[in-house]
Amino acid sequence: MTANGRMPTLYIPHGGGPSFFMQKGDELGGPGAWDAQADYLRGLAASLGVKPKAVLVVSAHWEERRPTVNVQANPGMLFDYYGFPDYTYRLKYPAPGEPALAARVRALLTAAGIDSGEEAARGFDHGVFIPFLLIYPEANMPIVELSLVANLDAATHLAIGRALAPLRDDGVLIVGSGMSYHNLRAMMSGDPNANAASTRFDSWLTETIEDSDTKSRDAKLADWRHAPDGIASHPRAEHLLPLHVAAGAAGADRGKRTYADHVLGKAQSGFRFG
């Protein structure tokens, strides 16, 4: 919790498919490739200092024409990764939803002039259940999932975050779940040029998030495509934009990098605001 009694906002990496739960010999990228990231996620709950009343997760793996909220009391599972061993499709995460929070999310978006929708059948995608199996493994934390907007516009997602900021005063943890580097073609290549590009973008991203001028921070995030190696690191923006929602909800609260590692040679970071 922040000094003013609000919950912080987070931008977390959610790994590569079910990477944290691969058995020996099946590891994506080899043994230990994702260990530091998994350890970071396991430590997040304790790092908050207080248990949230609920969590709102913006996942890179859900896009709709307008921001759409999962309103179910008991969401199921959506195994939206492909080509992994059978046992990775038997993972379970029976965390409850929170219809009242879903309604509050829609009300805040409406008050900000943002049209929204609701979803009553979709299960938690792996941008939710994979990291939260490590963050809250007991699956007893109410979780509501919110989609991205399919236009993938940076300013739109900053505005969504700003609209949802009051949730922080209600004890709700707002989490953007993505990856700070997400170029799948380059990720597995081992190309040293791609490794260097990821480092340059990661340096820019960290400097931007930690900018003491939060208005400047948000302006830079809105223009992220002109960052050093921005497009090379995110040919498509869906894994970056959950960060924009977290930053928008942060308001004047400064950000800081709380996780930094190289996975398969690519720089990856996680951030906290407030």
Token representation of residue 201: 């973008």
Lowest mean pLDDT among 25-34, 171-180, 251-260: 25-34
User: What's the confidence (pLDDT) of residue 190?
Assistant: 81
User: What's the confidence (pLDDT) of residue 5?
Assistant: 81
Q: Is the pLDDT of residue 4 over 80?
A: no
Are residues 248 and 160 in contact, defined by beta-carbon separation less than 8 angstroms? yes
Over residues 151-179, the pLDDT tens digits come to 999 999 999 999 999 999 999 999 999 99
Burial label for 91, CB within 10 Å (0-12, 13-18, 19+), is: middle
Comparing 108 with 2, which gets the higher pLDDT? Answer: 108
Give me the sign of the Cα torsion angle 238, 21, 56, 69: positive
| pLDDT > 90 in the chain, percent | 95
Q: What is the DSSP letter of 99?
A: H
Mean pLDDT of 79-86: 96
Q: Is the pLDDT of residue 38 over 70?
A: yes
Side-chain-side CA neighbours of residue 214 (13 Å): 16
Q: Is the pLDDT of residue 3 over 70?
A: no
User: What's the confidence (pLDDT) of residue 1?
Assistant: 63
Mean pLDDT of 206-227: 97
pLDDT class of 10 with cuts at 50, 70, 90: very high
For the chain, domains (ranges, CATH) are: 9-273 (3.40.830.10)
Distance CA 247, CA 51 (A): 21
Over residues 114-140, the pLDDT tens digits come to 999 999 999 999 999 999 999 999 999
Distance CA 184, CA 82 (A): 14
Distance CA 225, CA 38 (A): 29
For residue 52, CA distances in Å to 7, 17, 65, 102, 183 come to 8, 26, 29, 16, 33
Token representation of residue 50: 């207080």
Hey, is 167 helix, strand or coil? helix
Token representation of residue 128: 């939710």
Rg value, the chain, Cα: 17
User: What's the confidence (pLDDT) of residue 93?
Assistant: 98
**DSSP secondary structure of 259-273:** EEEEETTEEEEEEEE
Q: What is the DSSP letter of 94?
A: -
Distance CA 174, CA 146 (A): 10
Mean pLDDT of 222-246: 98
